[in-house]
Amino acid sequence: MARIVLGVTGGIAAYKACLLLRRFTEAGHDVRVVPTAAALEFVGAPTWAALSGHPVATTVWDDVHDVPHVRIGQQADLVVVAPATADLVARAAHGLANDLLTNVLLTARCPVLLAPAMHTEMWLNPATVANVATLRSRGVHVLDPASGRLTGADTGPGRLPEPAEIAAAALALLDQRPQDLAGRHVVVSAGGTREPLDPVRYLGNRSSGRQGVALARAAAARGAKVTLVAGPLEVPVPDGVDVVGVGSALEMREAVLAAAASAEVVVMAAAVADFRPAETAEHKIKKSDDEDDAPVVRLVRNPDILRELVARRRPGQVVVGFAAETGDADAGVLEHAQAKLARKGCDLLVVNDVSAGKVFGRDDTEVTVLYPDGRQRPVPAGSKDRVADEVWNAVITILA
């Protein structure tokens, strides 16, 4: 059981911190909540006390005999601030100590994780950009906010990541994982690809990027230098990894092959489109008044990135593929996956059953790791972070 301090600041997303607190307590950790005065305008102290099981200190004048402004930070195993407003980020970067939470941040000698949430203009403001860079340079873990609906009708980057994502990042900092990937460069691909039809439309798929992001996060926690080649993602980019953003399958191929040239492990978790339009219209395809008039899209095959990685594989390099499969009248999920493994020639193939909308966009999954010699390593249903660790455990056995 770890001692977690959950700082909450005055943003509309403060209500989500209740769900984050519940995740921490259900994981068996002892949580002390330190809300700012503004946070209490959104969620009151009785709620925090009831959910955490501890009285809530809100100022440096509470329980002065215990010196809370020093003791809380000193005794913590992890400090998480969610949401972290632009004001809190600025005060933390400048080392201010004008309330209990900033005092805790100054006295903490444990990992600190900030989950920012603010309007897009605030997040992109040069002052905030500089403050985040300062905090990261000091070893503070700052998550990138998600993009989506903000207060009112506004949308854009600045939305608080979902509690599950924050909890996964926080618990990874607590987890005493073996540093068995230390000194190794690994490449992970994540997300789907978008194949343009015209300047507005594209062919895509339902991949959220959650599993690829979990793999990158787990590898970084185990000491690896991680390059994440990412298509469009529905989840924040992990802290501490190098990210190369791509759109189409051709862009994914170019970026993955370039990064793989210096990598010891490549994990192709991205959902790369098998086909793309043969022609991309220069202008938006217009709809006519004729109801029977619809464009015919001719498709061509995209390169097989996984097969190309295997063909270019250097001695000692490990290549891992992913297969999102469904059964049919000819064969079941595992039979199709075994055939795919034989065709691709990779070192491991991670297969999951995506029938009836399973897996995509969800926080949990169930996979089977297949080996070329016919062995199967089932990974029971659980979080995608747990699956990521099991995949890396399998990779380590090959590297060893």
Catalytic residues: 205
What gap in Å lies between CA 158 and CA 155, rounded to an integer? 8
In contact, 387 and 211? CB cutoff 8 Å: yes
Residue 142 Cα distances to 79, 81, 117, angstroms: 12, 10, 11
3-state secondary structure 191-254: CECCEECCCCCEECCCCCCHHHHHHHHHHHHCCCEEEEEECCCCCCCCCCCEEEECCCHHHHHH
Q: Please state whether beta strands 348-353 and 364-370 pair in parallel, antiparallel, or not at all (unpaired).
A: antiparallel
| Beta strand pairing call for 376-383 and 364-370 | antiparallel
Distances from the Cα of 169 to the Cα of 141, 245, 290, angstroms: 9, 21, 52
- What is the length of the chain? 400
Q: Quick count: other Cβ atoms within 10 Å of Cβ 156?
A: 15
Pairing, β 3-8 against β 78-84: parallel
| Tokens (6 digits) for 223 | 């000491």
3-state SS, residue 321: strand
Residue 7 Cα to chain centre, angstroms: 21
How far is the C-alpha of 207 from the C-alpha of 232, rounded, in Å? Answer: 9
What is the rounded CA–CA span in Å between residue 264 and residue 315? Answer: 9
